[in-house]
Structure 1
């Protein structure tokens, strides 16, 4: 009896010891696994911190999630693009396309990192590394706009990704933004500008930009105009794809800048021949600092007026880039008067006044930046987004608020020129001139 009890006790003790041994082994295995996982995560974090640049590749844009894991302060901004530029990637991953027409178009998604410090500086100038071919460190991304990576897409995957971002939007529902850049702009700079607009407005709808093969040099002005004109068909195709991607019920907003207004106006005219102009293609359009002859604007836009939607024109008397364009084009290098003056829609002409068109809101934004650097050293060609005033106005347009300029900003004061109304930004406001009747 006693022997049986001793054997039972010994068996229970052995079983208990074996269970404790198994538990210790399992605990040690878990600890080793957790330690190995922690080491892998640390190694990945250190690798990311040490990586001087993210190479463009098929999964590059998807890797940019947020900056917290890198100990940095930047946000990732995804943009949809179309371009007819030649592909010309650099080792540093910051130059993706060159300045020559490729003979075909490329679709894709490009990811731009934007310094978080911009949260307190909407409308401030875009800071970028001066050398586009140098590698970008994580510390650089805290201070400068930079390319993270890009993915080429076919039309089917492009439409699918657009649909996903459109469905996820909560701040700007059923809304899409299209940007067409101007002269002397590289693909990289166009991406940065589109990212700036999206970031500064906290815009969560899909943002598109079309990058035509501008050369990125002030010495290539005439070449850039040719490149803009041969890009009309590719832009038209891209706009049709944008509409297919977002659906008929989504409101598309257009921002065209500088020589991009020339390209956009021709593409809109071509769209009217394809689709008619009974229904607006764009909900609202902004033509900013337009390097476009007034008569060409009328010729291209008036037959297609129904597609443009509610139209705003930003003009200025101090845009040195558009002023130089007028100088180059006018006989006698700007000295010719009368009808020979090649007036631009983005420049207030001393003889012809501001460009005023029926059913368009022309706003003189000369004084939105009045600092010494702007007045004496600035070109003032980017005031359409490099000002708290204009970036807030663009946001108001995209949020679908009132369209009349004085309702968008009390400092947009109505003026009259030859009996026709336009608006001028006057800091602090002023008395409107109501002597001219609104033609709409």
Structure 2
């Protein structure tokens, strides 16, 4: 066995799994009469997972022939570093110090789901989060709660969680599970877009979940000629997608397209491992967007690429920076979701951060927190090209596949 093969389980365990996390956290806890100071995130969870039959876990990693919806409320302790999830060290969780589920209710019909959305409306904005490889149901619930809380976004959170066995050796099963779930995600997005209370939808996907997001949007584009207009923003964090495949997915999505933002990091060790087991094909989330031909292709297509290589977090494999860096997660909540530009003086990601807009370099601000200690680079092209230009630019073969380092 090669050294790289031996290191793969370590890579994925550190990057994406709940290694060492307790199980059974989905059983709701009762807050004491003297409630500790906590925040709460209410979310709607749609899943293609199979029910576990156990209220402590709700759903397992196997595939269900039909989707399910559940209302979940998560309590978040007051004193905690942003970008972190406080998993309980023992059960039951203590809401004063731990993330804790305080309410779970199954939703049995679409009208019931829409009623929940009306009760939790946040300016008509909806956020749909799709997790990555090797996640349990509770992993994805707690991560979305952390993102929503720390970003301070004003949006209704919706989690789409697909069947992951949460196994270090389940990469192929998980990948096929994303294919299994793409029609269910497409239908979920359609139902959400049809709701008159929904003004716009942001899709935020991480790692292997970006493949699922792209496949669902591609299917929608093929059926209708374009993605629903309410889906106006797609954010791909550390996308575990073959570069040429992404180009085809993007082109076949039709036009007009949502605004795309991609978080990349050349030191992402999890994507390096993914590249290794998929034939050393470069993953979209691991490229350097400042070099050619990537820079020109992305700019011409109107895709914003944010290079997080120099951003520092506690993530040893540099795969979850989008959620663990306070500045980045707030950028998602306060800027990208609402379509605000990244090129004015109010953006403060790190000292020396620059934006390349139509060949012009602009300074974005100075460091505001110790979590970001070095420059990041933003490439953005706000004008939309003609659809024909996009199709010509981002088609299979236009973006080469260099070997991963």
Q: Give your verdict on TM over 0.5.
A: yes
**Is the partner of 2:323 in helix, strand or coil?**
coil
Higher RCO (CA 8 Å, separation ≥ 6 residues): 2
Please tell me whether Structure 1 or Structure 2 has the larger radius of gyration of its CA atoms. 1
CA distance in 2, matches of 1:136, 1:184: 24
Post-superposition shift, 1:415?
5.5
**Is the partner of 2:145 in helix, strand or coil?**
helix
Task: Summarize the alignment of residues 292-311 of structure 1 with structure 2, pairs less than 5 Å apart.
Answer: 292-304=241-253, 306=255, 308-311=257-260
Q: Contact 1:365–1:425 (CA<8 Å) still a contact in 2? A: no
CA distance in 2, matches of 1:85, 1:272: 25
Match of 1:159 among 114, 123, 127: 114
**Is the partner of 1:224 in helix, strand or coil?**
helix
Match of 1:179 among 129, 139, 152: 129
Post-superposition shift, 1:224?
0.7
Q: Contact 1:176–1:206 (CA<8 Å) still a contact in 2? A: yes
Match of 2:66 among 104, 111, 128: 104
- Segments of structure 1 that go 5 or more residues without pairing to the other structure are 1-52, 335-341
Cα RMSD, aligned residues only:
3.5
CA distance in 1, matches of 2:114, 2:217: 21
- The 1:439/1:198 distance shift into structure 2, 3 A limit, reads closer
**Is the partner of 2:159 in helix, strand or coil?**
strand
Partner of 2:325: 387
- The 1:204/1:94 distance shift into structure 2, 3 A limit, reads farther
Match of 2:268 among 319, 326, 331: 319
Q: Contact 2:307–2:376 (CA<8 Å) still a contact in 1? A: no
Partner of 2:400: none
- The 1:239/1:408 distance shift into structure 2, 3 A limit, reads farther
Establish whether residue 147 from structure 1 lines up as the match of residue 115 from structure 2.
no
- The 1:311/1:399 distance shift into structure 2, 3 A limit, reads closer
Query: What count of residue pairs does the alignment treat as equivalent?
Result: 347
Establish whether residue 75 from structure 1 lines up as the match of residue 39 from structure 2.
yes
Establish whether residue 203 from structure 1 lines up as the match of residue 165 from structure 2.
no
CA distance in 2, matches of 1:207, 1:219: 30
Which 4+ runs in 1 deviate beyond 4 A? Answer: 53-56, 349-356, 405-408, 419-434, 436-440
Partner of 1:234: 184
- The 1:408/1:191 distance shift into structure 2, 3 A limit, reads farther
Partner of 1:17: none
Post-superposition shift, 1:352?
7.5
Post-superposition shift, 1:179?
0.4
**Is the partner of 2:91 in helix, strand or coil?**
coil
Establish whether residue 348 from structure 1 lines up as the match of residue 310 from structure 2.
no
Post-superposition shift, 1:353?
7.6
- The 1:257/1:75 distance shift into structure 2, 3 A limit, reads same
Mean CA deviation greater in 271-280 or 226-235: 271-280
- The 1:212/1:414 distance shift into structure 2, 3 A limit, reads same
Establish whether residue 366 from structure 1 lines up as the match of residue 325 from structure 2.
no
- Segments of structure 2 that go 5 or more residues without pairing to the other structure are 1-23, 368-373, 386-405
Partner of 1:402: 340
Partner of 1:86: 50
Post-superposition shift, 1:209?
0.8
Q: Output one character per residue of 1:32-84: Cα deviation in whole Å (capped at 9) or x when no partner.
A: xxxxxxxxxxxxxxxxxxxxx9985xxx6xx97xx572442333321101101
Post-superposition shift, 1:271?
1.1
